[in-house]
Structure 1
C-alpha cells in the first residue's frame, strides 16, 4: 500500500525596509504575469504574503517538493530578474529573497491534529 506524501507547508520571514514599504506594496499589485506563471510552474500553490508590524513580511506556500520548486525558480531567468528587482526592498538579506528568507518552524496545524485525533479515536478499543 502506498501512502500519499503530504504537501510541504513553507513559511518564511523577511524584513522590508520601512522607507521602501509603499513601493514594495505597489510592486505586488499586481505581480508580473510571467512571474506568477513561474511560481505556479515551480509547484508552489496557496502562496500568500502577509505584512506585520514594523514592515515584517511573512510568506506562506504549499508544495509537493520544495527542493524541486526552489531549483526551478533558481534556474528561471524570469524569477532571477524579479528577485534582483525585489532584493533592494529588504533589510539584512544576503542573496535572492526567494532563497535567502528565514524559514519559520511550524508548531501547530489544525488539519494535522484533527486527522491524528480522529485516527487515534478510531483505533482506541
Structure 2
C-alpha cells in the first residue's frame, strides 16, 4: 500500500483557526476520505505553520485525489480551507500539496534483510 507524505504551509495568522477546524471535521468529510482511500491519515503542524500530512492509500495519490474530487463534500471543504494556505497558485489544498519522496522505511528494509538470510 503506497505511503504518502505531503507538505503545505498554513498562513501564520490562521494557525489557531486551522486547528479548531480540524478538531471537528465534518462527519461526511471523514467518511468520504475513508471511502476514497485516505487511510491512516494524519496531519502534523509546526508552530510556524508548516503542515505535514501522511496517509496510506490502496492505489495511488492520483486515485485518492480523484476519488475525493468526485465527492460534493470535498468541493465544499476545499473551498473553505483554501484560504488557510500560502502558495497554492489557484489550486485546492488537496491538489496543491507538495508530495515528499520516501527515502527510508524500516519495515521494508527489515523485510529485505530478513529475506536475504
TM-score range normalised by the length of the shorter chain = over 0.9
Q: In the alignment, does 2:74 pair up with 1:92?
A: no
Is the counterpart of residue 102 in structure 1 residue 90 in structure 2? no
Question: In structure 2, what is the equivalent of residue 69 of structure 1?
Answer: 64
Give the aligned partner of residue 8 of structure 1: 2
SS of the equivalent of 2:116 reads helix
Structure 2: distance between partners of 1:44 and 1:53: 25
Q: Which residue of 1 aligns with 2:34?
A: 40
TM-score normalised by structure 1 residue count: 0.89
Counterpart CA distance in 2 for 1:81 and 1:69 is 17
Gaps of 5+ in 2: none
Give the total of aligned pairs.
115
Structure ID, larger Rg: 1
CA offset at residue 53 of structure 1? 4.2
Pick one of 57, 69, 78 that aligns with 1:83: 78
Structure 1 segments (4+ residues) deviating >3 Å: none
